[in-house]
Structures are given as structure tokens and as C-alpha cells.
Amino acid sequence: ASEAAPRVPPATEAQEIDSDDERNALSRARDWGAPVRRECVLGGARVAPVSALALDPRGNRLASGATDGCVEMYDFGGMTASLRPFRTLEGCAEQRVADLSWSCTGDNLLVCPAAPRAKLLDRDGRTLGETSRGDMY
């Protein structure tokens, strides 16, 4: 026999207050011009599809890799209403960015294109090094 789905209990007064508090906070944030949506379109100049994303451990910087090999770096602390990246790197020789990964401290970013070489960048997007050509098999 099939089991009925469990019933969801009605919202408690505390949950309703939380919802009102959230609504008030969102309203105040909108008054200040803060972006408070669950999603936003970042203002990079590139139009290639995104193939990799990485958020640093502190949640301050976002790196976006695209299918054209471009990496854009966003700094939420210094971002203006235009939502543009503070750094755009085109150094992956038109290879799709397969993965991006921040170090556990957030000081370095590993860029792994769909090629046998990876790049290590500092927090500001400067190249620190590049791996030697890896095993092709």
C-alpha cells in the first residue's frame, strides 16, 4: 500500500515573525539599493557560456570560467551597481575552463582548462605559475 506524504504543520507565530523580519530587511535593503535577489546577471563583457564557478572561502570573491577560456574575477566588497568583474583574464588559449578552485585560505586560485596545463593565480588574478604539460592519457 502507498504511504501518504507527511502533513506539514502550520507556521508557528515565531516563523511568521521571522518572515515579517525578512520582509522588512529585504525592504530596507532595496531602499538602500542593495541587490537582494536570489540570482543576478553579473556584468562581465563576455558572452560565452559559464563552465566553472568558484566562491572563495570567505565569500568575498567569485571566479567565473567560460567555454572560451576566459576567467572573470568579481569582488563583492568593491562591486558597484554595474556588477562588472574587477579582472578579466584570457590566458587559457581558447580552451574551455573545466574547473576553478580557491585554496583553503582564499589566497590562490587554481584554473584548470580543458588542456594538460593548469595555472595558479593569486587573489588579484596575477599568474603565480603554470604546471608543466601533463600526461595526455
pLDDT of residue 4: 54
The mean predicted confidence, pLDDT, of the chain is: 79
pLDDT of residue 30: 73
Helical (H) or strand (E) element with 22: helix 13-32
Q: Which domains does the chain have, with CATH numbers?
A: 50-130 (2.40.10.480)
| Residue in 37, 21, 73 with CA at minimum distance from that of residue 64 | 73
Q: Give the Cα separation of 9 and 124 in Å (integer).
A: 49
pLDDT digits (tens, 9 = 90+) for 37-66: 666 677 766 678 889 999 999 999 999 999
pLDDT digits (tens, 9 = 90+) for 65-118: 999 899 999 998 888 888 889 998 886 767 899 999 999 999 999 999 988 888
